[in-house]
Amino acid sequence: MSNQSETSNNILRVGIDLGTSRSAIAADNGKRKWIHSYVGWPRDFIARKLLKRDVLVGTDAIENRNSVNLVRPLEHGVIRDGTTRDEKAVRELIRHLISLAEPEDGQKIYAAVGVPAEALRVNKLAIRNAVGEWTDTLMLVSEPFAVAYRLGALNNACIVDIGAGTIDFCVMHGTMPSDEDQRSVRTAGDHVDQQLYELLSERFVNTPISETMVRELKEKHACVSSASEPIKVKLPIAGKFQSQDITQEVCRACDSLIPSIAETIIDLLSTYEPILQERIRNSIYLAGGGSQIRGLAEALSAALEEYGHFTITPIEDPLFSGAEGALSLAEDMPEEYWENM
């Protein structure tokens, strides 16, 4: 394969951030789109007659969840259980994302796909097969590396990508990151959801609490204890909507991320020589949806204080940073890093 032998008009280069909760695409034709990482198939012939579609993707699948078999195929960032249904769901996600980029008829698709570091180690082949059905050439990279490339943080920096299924850590020190430069933990956004679900269910025993409801509450109000303001929402208590203060529950759930992030940063940095550790401490970036938790950067700095001063910065535009970083890689990466599909 030679990505220099085709004219630019015959090629659409895309960067895809394939996430557990959300997936995004950025293309060199200027298109930027994102979807929820859900796929649904009608449950029966009544549902198919009502929906008039054989498959639903993203928000469409979530909004019609009572009529479909709803799948979120990327559990902890990897194809869940490697099942046929989940591999098929990933193919549908990729197909839909590429359609949102609006390729022209006959254009070849060169796709750089960012996936959680765990996915590269566990089931790279399954993801390659799912993506390869819709692309002509492919490159798989870790999501935190794609973010680092987007930021230009290629030396003396650490990316902490807080997703739904995993939190991925990547140290950049002037070269392509190796497995030794990366870590992945599962105490991530889904863990916060589960903690919040249990806390609210325990408190509001007469209120139907759903996973979708909890996820929406977290995404709207997420904050750690040190940055908390009163969080009041209306909940149906015994059938009547009433204003309730859920500040304590939200903060407790979000606080649960802090220990594992702090411990993993120290564990990863301790593998480098002291002078490099000192430089990296001043350039730690929080990415992913979890980076938007109010007060998290400050809380992490406080948790790490006994190890010295850390400069921790949430990145701008976390929704598209991974996809745009992958697109930049697709535009810059030498030929030997690509695979023919």
Instruction: Give pLDDT tens digits for 126-163.
Output: 788 888 888 999 998 989 999 999 999 999 999 999 99
pLDDT tens digits, one per residue of 221-236: 999 998 778 999 998 8
Across the range 187-206, mean pLDDT stands at 93
pTM: 0.90
Q: Residue 8's pLDDT band (boundaries 50, 70, 90)?
A: low
2, two tokens? 């030679």
The pLDDT value recorded for residue 4 is 45
* Length of the chain in terms of residues written: 341
Across the range 169-194, mean pLDDT stands at 93
pLDDT tens digits, one per residue of 276-319: 999 999 999 999 999 999 999 999 999 999 999 999 999 999 99
3-state secondary structure the chain: CCCCCCCHHHEEEEEEEECCCEEEEEECCCCEEEEECCEEEECCHHHHHHHCCCCEECHHHHHCCCCEEEECCEECCEEHHHCHHHHHHHHHHHHHHHHHCCCCCCCEEEEEEEECHHHHHHCHHHHHHHHHCCCCEEEEEEHHHHHHHHHCCCEEEEEEEECCCCEEEEEEECCCCCHHHEEEECCCHHHHHHHHHHHHHHHCCCCCCCHHHHHHHHHHHCECHHHCCCCEEEEEECCEEEEEECHHHHHHHHHCCHHHHHHHHHHHHCCCCHHHHHHHHCCEEEECHHHHCECHHHHHHHHCHHHCCCCEEECCCHHHHHHHHHHHHHHHCCHHHCEEC
